[in-house]
A and B are shown apart, each in its own frame.
Chain A
Amino acid sequence: MIEHLKQKYLEEAHDLLLELEQTLLLLEQNPAAAEGVETAFRVMHTLKGSSGMFGYQQIGELVHLLESGYDAIRASGSPFPHALLNLSLEAVDHIRLLLDAAAAATEACQTTHRLLLKRAAEMLYEVVPATDSSTAPTRQELTSWALLFAPQADLFKNGTNPLYILEDLASLGQLHTFADTQLLPPAQALDPRCCYLSWKLLLVTDAPESDIRDCFLFVEGSCRLELHPLGPGNCLSSLSEPATAELARQVREGLSWEQFLEQLQQPGAAVAAGPGQLPTADSLPEAEGGAAGLQTRGAASIRVASDKLDDLMNLVSELVANQERLSLLAELSLQPELAGVAEEIEKITRQLRDKTFDICLVPIGSMLTRFKRLVRDLSQELNKNIVFEAEGVETELDKNVIQNLSDCLVHIFRNSIDHGIEGEQERLRKGKPAQGKIVLKAYTSGTNVVIEVQDDGAGIDLQKVQQKALQKGLIGPEDTLSEQEVLELLFMPGFSTAQGVTAVSGRGVGMDVVRRNMRELRGEVTLSSRQDAGTTLTLTLPLTISIIDGLMVRIGDTDFVLPLSFVEKSYSITPGQLSAAFNNQLVLDGEPMLYANLADAFGCPGVGRQSFGVVVKTGQQKMLLLVDAILGEYQAVLKPLGRFYLEQDFLSGGSLKGDGTVALVIDPQKLIQDIIQKTAISI
């Protein structure tokens, strides 16, 4: 089967598995939910059907077993057995592996497969049903047959055309048809929706009986069908023409099947014959025409490949840049009409841009199943009692952000379940409810989306963190740290409070990785915690990663964009203030403020005039950046600088300006980190 269909199948299979997983988790909460069983059954049915077609036989056989189990439950209406639920969830995981050819080929996967099949069979059946035995059509000796085909009067109501069946038979070999018109009423009483005819047939064929029966496959239940072997070879070769005509007359007048057979057995009855004359009357009201003027109806939602969206996004941002250029030209132009057109295009472009961004947004709810599952599985594994709740699941984020975010959240959830929430006994001792709780809250705040993960666990032991940092030499014994500073230690590379490395979260990644990933998304992560009351992690992310509301500044002859989300304030700086600066600090509004001259930081000292300062705040760090000029607010569409500028990671990318040149978008977190490191050395 063709590759793109297979790709579609894979996508769909993953979606189905997700739906199944969701349904199963729902069923776990409410084992009596009949519609849940129905949905699970339907999903499995679909999965099984398509898996077989694309060569995923193993998926097919596993789902087949489960599907039958669900069918039985559905039929009996009994509540959903918990054991089947666990098995199904395991099967979901396993099928995901099977969809990956490389993973499926491993011995481990194959062993799992055998085990799952065995368990499923034991649970659901006494015996494993035999797999489809492929029956190859076997040619055999030429045989002669007599047939009776007497359809019920309502045969047409099922859309069957008996002539096609006769044609199919004729294709098997030599066929004589004898129509019985005994039941045919006079024309005025004839109901064209009823079938009044029946046929007696003689067939000489080398096809096996099963092929003959196959022709009647769909009408088996709605006709009388008799199949009588007359003997090997062509028994009809000696049937004379007059004999055939006589037989036809007799049949027409209602010769019974038994009499028909008798006639045939009479010596001298058989003739050599050409193919039988087929009735030609096309009496069936065949549905014809009407296919003209096709109208494809749009579904409520459609599926679009992710990279197509990326392409669209690129085109739109290109359009935005060119539109700005057009507006600029229109302003300079002497033709007043041009300004009107440019304005209109600007309006449309803005709408198009907003719509496109909107298309790329995905609700946070779309990734929740993964966490529900994680909480369920992990808490079972660790023998903890934890419930997961989510709020604001409709909050939307850029699809690319969601993908990356999901991994960070998994790590955070693991931490909460493994280290945060206590065992039941301990919780009761502390006077807390036995069941622990993890809440995910998502909401929009300005152009940011905030995601909080809150647990009501033990909280972070500040003392322990400090001891550990001391051991690791991250802080000195005389350092006194504020609570916030202690929590910040957790984000330092190489810091991990896990007492022992557990299978759950001790995988060598810590909160520093989470923070790094978040920063790659131009987001931030902060932590707050209260002893025995719980921990809250707050992730703040921009709505989209490809557009930035920024402040355009100039240094030398280059324009830079500072993301507005990091900009606190801007100042006009006098030479007097600069000469009074001391120890990298400048006094602003009566307060000393760490500052850096961006021209120096960018390695082109002496270029700038440093007439303006922009206060940038990243996390706990504030810094005044000196620039030549502030050009105003600017919406930057971010473009990657590419592999030649990987080293310059203090830039998040470039942005195309209206005049066709490139402005550079600064990553304030990285820039300030670089400046501080450098200053620390030079002091």
Chain B
Amino acid sequence: MEKSILIVDDSETIRETVSFTLENAQYKVQKAVDGEDALQLLDKHQYQLIITDLHMPRLDGIGLIKAIRAREAHQFTPILFLTTESQTSRKDEARAAGATGWIVKPFVPEKLVAVVQKLIR
């Protein structure tokens, strides 16, 4: 079955890069521009993986992760968050909120696919 992934990022570049890369790797990708946007999609769809940025307007990444985990349907959906090297404190915060793993920006496409493959098969 085709695996579908939700990418949540307020940066169009990141959204496009991630979806381009993953679509090339035969995943189905949907995009959301922030947490609120993502939650609306999550109310309607199931995903095998959610990738989210931590810094977004409206509902930020941590808030989104908590909200996802609070939903029955997405309790166990793997969530990756995008982070940068400088942000170890945020990493722990995101983990505590229920994130599965992270991707360090900047990343190369192969790295992204490798991390995604860690979480969905």
Closest residue on chain B to residue A158 by CB atoms? B100
Partner of B78, one of A52, A161, A222: A161
Does A463 sit within 8 A of B, measured CB to CB? no
Q: A5-B17, A50-B11, A291-B47 are in contact. Are A60 and B106 (CB under 8 A)?
A: yes
Does A299 sit within 8 A of B, measured CB to CB? yes
Q: A8-B12, A41-B55 are in contact. Are A217 and B106 (CB under 8 A)?
A: no
Closest residue on chain B to residue A50 by CB atoms? B13
Q: A52-B106, A160-B78, A168-B118 are in contact. Are A297 and B13 (CB under 8 A)?
A: no
Q: Mark B5-38, 1 if CB is under 8 A from A, else 0.
A: 0000011111011001000000010101100010
- Cβ of A5 and Cβ of B13 under 8 Å apart? yes
- Shortest Cβ distance from residue B119 to the other chain A in the assembled complex, whole angstroms: 7
Q: Mark B30-68, 1 if CB is under 8 A from A, else 0.
A: 101100010011001111100001011100000000000
Tell me the B61-84 residues at the A interface (CB within 8 Å). 69, 73-79, 82, 84
Q: Mark A260-299, 1 if CB is under 8 A from B, else 0.
A: 0000000000000000000000001111111100111101
Q: Which A residues touch B57, using CB under 8 A?
A: 42
- Cβ of B14 and Cβ of A46 under 8 Å apart? yes
A197 to B57, CA, bound (A): 40
Q: Which A residues touch B74, using CB under 8 A?
A: 287
| Interface of A, helix, strand, loop or mixed by DSSP | helix
Does A156 sit within 8 A of B, measured CB to CB? yes
- Cβ of B17 and Cβ of A1 under 8 Å apart? yes
Does A45 sit within 8 A of B, measured CB to CB? yes
Q: Which B residues touch A217, using CB under 8 A?
A: 101, 118
- Cβ of A159 and Cβ of B78 under 8 Å apart? yes
Does A193 sit within 8 A of B, measured CB to CB? yes
Q: Which B residues touch A294, using CB under 8 A?
A: 30, 45
Closest residue on chain B to residue A60 by CB atoms? B106
- Cβ of B20 and Cβ of A2 under 8 Å apart? yes
- Shortest Cβ distance from residue A660 to the other chain B in the assembled complex, whole angstroms: 43
Question: Of A64-72, A202-210, A309-317, which binds chain B?
Answer: A64-72
- Cβ of B76 and Cβ of A49 under 8 Å apart? no
Q: A5-B13, A297-B37 are in contact. Are A287 and B77 (CB under 8 A)?
A: yes
Q: Mark A145-159, 1 if CB is under 8 A from B, else 0.
A: 000000000001111
- Cβ of B73 and Cβ of A287 under 8 Å apart? yes
Does A644 sit within 8 A of B, measured CB to CB? no
Closest residue on chain A to residue B105 by CB atoms? A49
- Shortest Cβ distance from residue A61 to the other chain B in the assembled complex, whole angstroms: 11
A71 to B89, CA, bound (A): 11
- Cβ of A286 and Cβ of B84 under 8 Å apart? no
- Cβ of A218 and Cβ of B48 under 8 Å apart? no
Specify which of B2, B86, B108 lies most central, judged by the most chain A CB atoms within 10 Å of its CB.
B86
- Cβ of B10 and Cβ of A46 under 8 Å apart? yes
- Shortest Cβ distance from residue B84 to the other chain A in the assembled complex, whole angstroms: 6
Specify which of B12, B37, B77 lies most central, judged by the most chain A CB atoms within 10 Å of its CB.
B12
Does A657 sit within 8 A of B, measured CB to CB? no
Q: Which B residues touch A64, using CB under 8 A?
A: 84, 86
Does A308 sit within 8 A of B, measured CB to CB? no
A168 to B101, CA, bound (A): 15
Q: Which A residues touch B79, using CB under 8 A?
A: 158-159
Does A515 sit within 8 A of B, measured CB to CB? no
Q: Which A residues touch B119, using CB under 8 A?
A: 159-161, 164
Closest residue on chain B to residue A294 by CB atoms? B30
Does A242 sit within 8 A of B, measured CB to CB? no
- Shortest Cβ distance from residue B87 to the other chain A in the assembled complex, whole angstroms: 8
Q: Which A residues touch B46, using CB under 8 A?
A: 287-291
Q: Which B residues touch A297, using CB under 8 A?
A: 32, 37, 40-41
- Cβ of A45 and Cβ of B84 under 8 Å apart? yes
- Cβ of A9 and Cβ of B13 under 8 Å apart? yes
Q: Mark A332-351, 1 if CB is under 8 A from B, else 0.
A: 00000000000000000000
- Cβ of B76 and Cβ of A67 under 8 Å apart? no
Partner of B4, one of A2, A54, A161, A291: A291
Q: Which B residues touch A67, using CB under 8 A?
A: 84, 86
Specify which of B11, B32, B92 lies most central, judged by the most chain A CB atoms within 10 Å of its CB.
B11
Q: Which B residues touch A157, using CB under 8 A?
A: 69, 75-76, 98
- Cβ of A5 and Cβ of B16 under 8 Å apart? yes
Q: Which A residues touch B101, using CB under 8 A?
A: 160, 217-218
Does A132 sit within 8 A of B, measured CB to CB? yes
Closest residue on chain B to residue A215 by CB atoms? B118
Does A568 sit within 8 A of B, measured CB to CB? no
Q: Which B residues touch A159, using CB under 8 A?
A: 76-79, 98-100, 119
Q: Which B residues touch A1, using CB under 8 A?
A: 17, 109
Tell me the A139-191 residues at the B interface (CB within 8 Å). 156-161, 164-165, 167-168
- Cβ of A51 and Cβ of B44 under 8 Å apart? no
- Cβ of B76 and Cβ of A12 under 8 Å apart? no
Q: A64-B86, A218-B102 are in contact. Are A8 and B13 (CB under 8 A)?
A: yes
- Shortest Cβ distance from residue A473 to the other chain B in the assembled complex, whole angstroms: 57
Does A94 sit within 8 A of B, measured CB to CB? no
Q: Which B residues touch A42, using CB under 8 A?
A: 10, 55-57
Specify which of A52, A222, A287, A290 lies most central, judged by the most chain B CB atoms within 10 Å of its CB.
A287
Closest residue on chain B to residue A68 by CB atoms? B86
Q: Which B residues touch A167, using CB under 8 A?
A: 121
A167 to B117, CA, bound (A): 11
A60 to B107, CA, bound (A): 12
- Cβ of A287 and Cβ of B84 under 8 Å apart? no
Q: Which B residues touch A2, using CB under 8 A?
A: 20
Q: A157-B69, A221-B92, A299-B33 are in contact. Are A53 and B55 (CB under 8 A)?
A: no
Does A643 sit within 8 A of B, measured CB to CB? no
A132 to B102, CA, bound (A): 17
A159 to B86, CA, bound (A): 24
- Cβ of A132 and Cβ of B45 under 8 Å apart? no
Does A554 sit within 8 A of B, measured CB to CB? no
Does A303 sit within 8 A of B, measured CB to CB? yes
Q: Mark A1-18, 1 if CB is under 8 A from B, else 0.
A: 110010011001100000
Q: Which B residues touch A5, using CB under 8 A?
A: 13, 16-17, 20
19 more A-B residue pairs beyond the given contacts A52-B105, A159-B98, A291-B47, with a C-beta to C-beta distance below 8 A: A42-B10, A42-B56, A45-B84, A49-B14, A49-B84, A49-B106, A50-B11, A60-B106, A157-B76, A161-B78, A165-B118, A221-B92, A286-B48, A287-B73, A287-B76, A291-B4, A295-B44, A297-B32, A299-B37
Q: List 26 A-B contacts (CB under 8 A).
A: A12-B11, A42-B57, A46-B14, A48-B84, A49-B82, A49-B106, A50-B11, A50-B17, A52-B106, A53-B108, A54-B13, A60-B106, A67-B86, A157-B76, A159-B79, A159-B100, A159-B119, A160-B78, A287-B48, A287-B73, A288-B1, A290-B45, A290-B47, A291-B47, A294-B45, A297-B37
Q: Which residues of A contact B (CB under 8 A)?
A: 1-2, 5, 8-9, 12-13, 41-42, 45-46, 48-54, 60, 64, 67-68, 71, 129, 132, 156-161, 164-165, 167-168, 193, 217-218, 221-222, 284-291, 294-297, 299, 303
Closest 9 pairs between A and B when the two form their complex, measured CB to CB: A52-B106, A290-B46, A218-B101, A49-B105, A159-B78, A291-B4, A159-B100, A50-B13, A42-B55
